[in-house]
Structure 1
Amino acid sequence: MKNLILTTAALALTAGFAMADTVRLGTEGAYPPFNFLNDAGEIDGFERELGDELCARAELTCEWVTNDWDSIIPNLVSGNYDVIIAGMSITPERDEVIDFTQNYTQPDPSAYMVLTGNEGLDVTGAVIAAQTNTIQAGFVAEMGAPLVEFATPDETISAVRTGEADAVLADKSYLAPIAEENADLTLLERDELIGGGVGMGLRESDGELREKFDAAIQSMKDDGSLNTLIEKWEVGETF
């Protein structure tokens, strides 16, 4: 689970969102299919399409910015953007620092990926790579297995290839396409169910904005359009 500096929550009191302003959506841009930069250098993926639709339904003018994962919550709290929409699982620890909308995906299984030929790996005693400040890193730490953390998801994959780690633990929807496209990488049959689904993160002082996005998410659940996006981008089970 994400290690958070709880004292940063106080900054939220001075970083409130003004409803007349443009809403800035912060994402990582490095975690397909949730969010990534396409060949044109533009933010793309499931959350780009979802965020644009939610802003339209909420009648909000929105713009997108990218931010490194390891500072994505502190920079929300300090006012660099107004919303996190970055494949962030809802957890009690994060909810102590920021607020969340309702989930827009179901809890996504986490999977282990290893070098092909190492399918018999016992993960309980293996060296596991995970991205820093993720629910997967917290899970490995709680499991008691040796953990190596990296700033980006690409670095976790490289660690397996170089032998620095025996396996990487990450969202299955992220790892599955990589395993399919690379013969040297294979998913283990063991999955882990961690977290309570993915939601939009906001400052605790921005209740009005959260309510607008909550209503927009609910409307997409009600008319089935959210399920259509989930199926299109293959980001887990539908509602």
Structure 2
Amino acid sequence: MRFLAYLNLLAIILIAGGLARHYEGTKFAEPVNRSASHEASPDAGAPETGSVDMASVGLRASAAAPTQEPPEENLADINPADKNPVEEKPAATGEPLPHGVPLVNPRLAAKTPSEIPAETPAETGTPEKEAEPPLVLTVLTEGDYPPFNYRNDKGELTGFDVDLAHALCDRLKAQCSFETKPWEALLPALKSGDGDVVIASMLIPSAPRAAPPHEEGIVFTGAYYSTPGHFAVQKSGGFPASAAGLAGKRVAVQAGSVHAAFLTHHFPGVEAVDVTTLKDAEQALAKGKVDYLFGDRNALLRWLRTDGTCCRLAGPDYDDPSWFGQGAGIALRSKDEALRKRMDTALASLVADGTYRRISSRYFSQSIY
């Protein structure tokens, strides 16, 4: 019996080896008879009854013959639950994905960082600030009041007022042009729009000083120079430390001026020598006919810088505004309040950085601010 068992085992091995050689190279998907002990019928065109199509076992996605291309699936008909849970790796940067859509932004494709356009204000949401137009001003002046505004030997407009106006325009980054008009026509021209500012040593309206009437629609900046009274004396002479020391002294003064009234009111002990003009007073002091001269400080500074080499200023400024006013200001239309503030700010900066003092030194022996 044991011999028969060994014989049957040997027969099974031989039959299995024969079948393996017979079906060597056969495709897995081709129809194969379930019974391994029978050869397939050579003329069979289809599997026999009871045979199983191996392609149908676990391979339902390939129901057609293996030699045909699988039908293209409609992505919209696929149930998301049936999709492969393993996420497909994206193609390399710049290469299209399987569905044909490039991975990179086509707006930035093939551009280096330096080639990428900057965002426009519309993209960032920040509106572009429009550049402010340049300030354009027409400056009105008289042109006949040296050393403040006048024409030199070449016919060029010059003077302290003119030089200061140029400095103000530069500080304001304004484009300025100049027009000269008679004194009495300056304010009417400003009001009618023929000019934007008047810079012509025009005194800020004040009761005690000769000044244009405070017309409606006209405003002034702060003073760009002051107009105090001052004494002058010969360089070899002295000056008393108090008003009492002037008692009995001869003082030249222009008759009928605010300076004559101030001298009489504040120094009753002096001997006032009335003269017709300031020039007459200057000559009287230079020749020693009087001990002192009292007059407008700025006019005296101009005289001392040119012809008054004999003399000097003495004592303090007498700048009581109830007598000598608030000084000279720049006139503007009242509606130009913003421009007036800008003018005041620019003037303060010229004083602070020394520009004002340098301009003063061209015409006077010291600053007249």
Query: TM over 0.5: same fold?
Result: yes
2:182 aligns to what?
A: 68
1:211 aligns to what?
A: 341
1:58 and 2:183 correspond = no
2:158 aligns to what?
A: 44
Letter of the 2:360 counterpart: I
User: C-alpha offsets along residues 81-114 of structure 1, whole Å, 9 cap, x if unaligned?
Assistant: 1111111222346584321122222x223579xx
For 1:88 and 1:172, how far apart are their aligned partners in 2? 16
1:159 to 1:212, Cα distance in 2 relative to 1, 3 A: same
**Larger relative strand fraction:** 1
Q: Secondary structure at the match of 1:57?
A: helix
Q: CA deviation at 1:25?
A: 0.7
Structure 2 runs not aligned, ≥5 long = 1-132, 232-248, 263-276, 282-293
Letter of the 2:198 counterpart: I
Which of 219, 230, 252 matches 1:99? 219
Aligned residues: 194
- Structure with higher Rg: it is 2
**Larger relative helix fraction:** 1
TM-score (structure 1 length as normaliser): 0.59
For 1:96 and 1:206, how far apart are their aligned partners in 2? 16
Letter of the 2:183 counterpart: W
For 2:353 and 2:303, how far apart are their aligned partners in 1? 32
Letter of the 1:100 counterpart: F
For 1:141 and 1:204, how far apart are their aligned partners in 2? 35
For 2:146 and 2:161, how far apart are their aligned partners in 1? 10
2:227 aligns to what?
A: 108
Letter of the 1:227 counterpart: R
More relative contact order, 1 or 2 (CA 8 Å, 6+ apart): 1
For 1:58 and 1:77, how far apart are their aligned partners in 2? 22
How do residues 6-21 of structure 1 correspond to structure 2 at under 5 angstroms?
Answer: none
Q: CA deviation at 1:26?
A: 0.9
2:59 aligns to what?
A: none
Which of 170, 174, 179 matches 2:299? 174
1:87 and 2:205 correspond = no
User: C-alpha offsets along residues 200-229 of structure 1, whole Å, 9 cap, x if unaligned?
Assistant: 111111112212212211211221221222
Letter of the 1:74 counterpart: P
Structure 1 runs not aligned, ≥5 long = 1-18, 113-118, 129-136, 144-155, 161-168
User: C-alpha offsets along residues 127-156 of structure 1, whole Å, 9 cap, x if unaligned?
Assistant: 54xxxxxxxx7x48988xxxxxxxxxxxx7
Contact 2:304 2:365 in 1 (8 A): no
1:222 aligns to what?
A: 352
Q: Secondary structure at the match of 2:164?
A: helix
1:175 to 1:224, Cα distance in 2 relative to 1, 3 A: closer
